[in-house]
């Protein structure tokens, strides 16, 4: 089988594994390479979702029916949902490849805000031994973390929060009970748990139902001491409403690894919001194990495709 590989993530490792398994890797360095490779014929594509565009969608359609599977090397697939995919083309995402590091990043943001590390850093820069932050410090012990979404990232985050003594509320479409969650509620019932949420944590996919989910009404229902953490996608939060909440003090702080748009413009008012930690969509990085997991999921789905078996981590972007 011939596999088109267009990604900065684990590219060489995946190409080596594909070749070692007796298949033909075709590595694209840019969009022109990718177009040529697809025109020559491929059975599967391994790529990051950010490279998907209307042009790539049309190239994929022209490469069918030989092309059967797009293996994303990202967890998110919103560009495919936005631009559509050809009917009949299977799509899989990276599963939990990035989940451990994203979870670690989210917990780091929670701890930094609760322990007032940004304020301590400012005091340090001014050589100021200011113990005043002690009055404002908090702890995860006994805190309730309400998770919007409880997939792989949510589970990995819960594993890290439990040893701190946090209580977990999983908010999902089904409200299915989970061993790692103390409570599970349907997303339609989110309003019922907001007043007792110390942290509201977004780790769910972006779609029509989740765009702007954390808006003025949701933020107003949180306690004044609550934190908001977003490692999902920028548009999940109404950024204007978030800015207003931080400026007014109706929430205590926030941490976002994603923004709308990305990169966040230098003149965006959000940069100057108080008690806000912004990181530039890097939560998924930092571990050498990620490339191994990406290669593993790619090779597993390649083998399943060849054998005519169901693929792992299928997703269903909009057909168009």
Burial level of 224, CB count in 10 A (0-12/13-18/19+)?
A: exposed
For 187-293, list the strands marked E by DSSP: 199-202, 227-230, 253-256, 276-278
| Residue 319: per-residue pLDDT | 97
pTM of this structure: 0.93
CB 62 within 8 A of CB 84: no
**316/299 Cα distance (integer angstroms):** 20
Give the mean pLDDT of 29-43.
Answer: 97
Q: Give the tens place of pLDDT for each residue, 211-225.
A: 999 999 999 999 999
For the chain, list the strands marked E by DSSP: 2-6, 24-27, 44-47, 69-72, 90-92, 144-148, 167-172, 183-186, 199-202, 227-230, 253-256, 276-278, 314-315
- 3 state DSSP class of 45: strand
Structure tokens at 145: 């973390």
Q: How confident is the model at residue 207 (pLDDT cuts 50, 70, 90)?
A: confident
**DSSP assignment string, 102-115:** HHHHHHHHHHHHHT
Q: Give the tens place of pLDDT for each residue, 117-173.
A: 999 999 999 999 999 999 999 999 999 999 999 999 999 999 999 999 999 999 999
Burial level of 193, CB count in 10 A (0-12/13-18/19+)?
A: middle
**204/207 Cα distance (integer angstroms):** 9
CB 206 within 8 A of CB 76: yes
Residues marked active site are found at: 233, 262, 281
């Amino acid at each position: 089988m011939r596999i088109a590989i267009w990604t900065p993530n684990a590219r060489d490792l995946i190409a080596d594994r594909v070749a070692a398994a007796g298949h033909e890797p075709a590595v694209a360095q840019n969009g022109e390479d990718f177009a040529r490779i697809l025109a020559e014929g491929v059975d599967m594509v391994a790529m990051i979702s950010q490279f998907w565009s209307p042009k790539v969608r049309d190239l994929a359609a022209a490469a069918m029916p030989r092309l059967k599977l797009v293996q994303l090397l990202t967890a998110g697939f919103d560009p495919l949902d936005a631009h559509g995919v050809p009917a009949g083309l299977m799509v899989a995402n990276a599963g939990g490849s990035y989940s451990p590091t994203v979870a670690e990043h989210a917990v780091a943001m929670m701890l930094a805000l609760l322990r007032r590390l940004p304020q301590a850093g400012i005091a340090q820069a001014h050589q100021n031994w200011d113990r005043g932050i002690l009055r404002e410090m908090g702890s995860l012990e006994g805190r309730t973390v309400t998770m919007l979404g409880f997939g792989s990232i949510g589970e990995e985050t819960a594993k890290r929060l439990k040893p701190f003594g946090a209580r977990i509320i999983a908010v999902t479409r089904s409200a299915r009970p989970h061993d790692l969650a103390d409570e599970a509620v349907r997303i339609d019932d989110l309003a019922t748990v907001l007043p007792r949420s110390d942290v509201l944590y977004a780790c769910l996919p972006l779609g029509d139902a989740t765009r702007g989910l954390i808006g003025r009404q949701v933020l107003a229902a949180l306690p004044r001491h609550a934190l908001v953490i977003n490692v999902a996608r920028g548009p999940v939060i109404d950024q204007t409403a978030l800015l207003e909440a931080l400026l007014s003090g109706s929430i205590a702080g926030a941490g976002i690894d994603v923004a709308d748009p990305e990169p966040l413009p230098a003149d965006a008012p959000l940069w100057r919001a108080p008690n806000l930690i912004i990181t530039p969509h890097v939560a998924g990085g930092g571990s050498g194990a990620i490339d191994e997991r990406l290669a593993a999921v790619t090779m597993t789905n390649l083998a399943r495709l060849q054998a005519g078996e169901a693929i792992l981590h299928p997703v269903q972007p909009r057909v168009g």
